[in-house]
Amino acid sequence: MDNIATALNTFAQHADLLDLEGNVRTSIPGVHFFRASKGSSRQPLVYQSGIIIVAQGRKVIHFPEHQIQYGAGNYLVLGIPMPLECEAFTEVGLPIMGLAVDVDPTLLHKLVNQMRQHQGYIDNEQCRQVSCVQSAKIDGPLMQTIQRLIEVLPNTIESDIFGADIVKELVYRVLCGPQGKTLIGLAQHDGHYARIARSLNTLHANYASPISVETLAEDVNMSVSAFHRAFRQVTFESPLQYLKKIRLVKAKDLITANGTRANEAAFQVGYSSASQFSREFKRHFNQSPSDISLNA
């Protein structure tokens, strides 16, 4: 894992990102570099779907009944965007650092279809029930792929020529690994996991609009009761709780990043009552919108 951390440090130095706090796009589409010099306490945020590779530091994701820990030497697979509570830790004085890789749906379906042609590569029965968030250790073949990806990042020509192919290999390596089923489930069009993923795309695209559970269920050809069960199995939340968390995180981003006033942010994310927004915001973040504004 030291090789990956060393390579990322070299890339960060070349790209003048040694002081970065947050994440930034790289020259390869869908590949992001992230860095934080300090850890952070447990706080709500939204994880985007994809593959997260950790070179330095450690994070803990908290669920109602369990935790997921991942750090240097691990990768995290998220099949869908998730509102989660996470805390982060630096180790031996080194910053948290890694890569986040988007998984293009077209690429995913092509790879899964190709793998299905080879007996034993895809076990449909095994992939029926999957969690939306899983972590695993980086094995040898995946490590080599990650190293090649990092090596071409500083070189614009090489990242343009080889980048997409290396990302394709990386997704393939993850599909072959212990958490590949998290992504394979997305490629099963009629499976509950894939249907909920499509509903989440609808929620994220229209979170500020009035959305009913009945409409969401109808859009993916499920009964309301079956949709509720499947939604909770995949996200650990009810549809309305999930939507509320997305709206609150989006509102916080508007307040902290854009300086938007709390009342205006509330209406922009779909709240019709400023007082209800303020109550739910404070309950979710343990801070009022005005406190967030002062600290922004």
Q: Which 8-state DSSP code applies to residue 261?
A: -
Asked if 70 and 54 touch (Cβ cutoff 8 Å), the reply is yes
Show the tokens assigned to 289. 């919108």
> What is the residue extent of each domain of the chain?
2-180, 189-236, 241-295
User: Phi/psi of residue 20, each to 5°?
Assistant: -65, 140
Please give the distance of CA 93 from its chain centroid, rounded to a whole number. 26
Beta strand spans in the chain (E)? 22-25, 31-36, 40-47, 50-56, 58-62, 67-71, 74-78, 82-89, 96-101, 133-137
Q: What is the pLDDT of residue 129?
A: 46
Tell me the per-residue pLDDT of 8-48, one tens digit each, with 9 for 90 and over.
999 999 999 999 999 999 999 999 999 999 999 888 888 88
Please, what is the end-to-end C-alpha distance for the chain in angstroms?
35
Q: What is the pLDDT of residue 293?
A: 64
Sheet-wide strand order for 82-89: 40-47, 82-89, 58-62, 67-71
Asked if 170 and 146 touch (Cβ cutoff 8 Å), the reply is yes
Q: What is the pLDDT of residue 89?
A: 95
User: Phi/psi of residue 293, each to 5°?
Assistant: -60, -40
* Composition of the chain by helix, strand, coil, percent to 5: 50, 20, 30
Per-residue pLDDT of the chain (296 residues; tens, 9 = 90+): 578 999 999 999 999 999 999 999 999 999 999 999 999 988 888 888 899 999 999 999 988 778 888 999 999 998 888 888 899 999 998 999 999 999 998 999 899 889 888 866 555 554 454 556 778 999 999 999 999 999 999 999 999 999 999 999 999 999 998 888 888 877 776 678 888 888 998 999 999 999 899 999 999 999 999 999 999 888 888 999 999 999 999 999 999 888 899 999 999 999 999 999 999 999 999 888 888 765 55
Can 2-180 and 241-295 be said to share one CATH topology?
A: no
> Considering the domain 241-295 in this protein, what is its CATH number?
1.10.10.60
Q: What is the pLDDT of residue 182?
A: 83
Instruction: Provide the CATH topology of domain 2-180.
Output: Jelly Rolls (2.60.120)
CA dihedral sign of residues 227, 230, 232, 235? negative
Asked if 154 and 11 touch (Cβ cutoff 8 Å), the reply is yes
Q: Give the pairing type, strands 58-62 and 82-89.
A: antiparallel
What is the rounded distance in angstroms from the CA atom of residue 17 to the CA atom of residue 82?
A: 27
Name the 3-class secondary structure at 282: helix
Asked if 172 and 111 touch (Cβ cutoff 8 Å), the reply is yes
What is the rounded distance in angstroms from the CA atom of residue 182 to the CA atom of residue 193?
A: 9
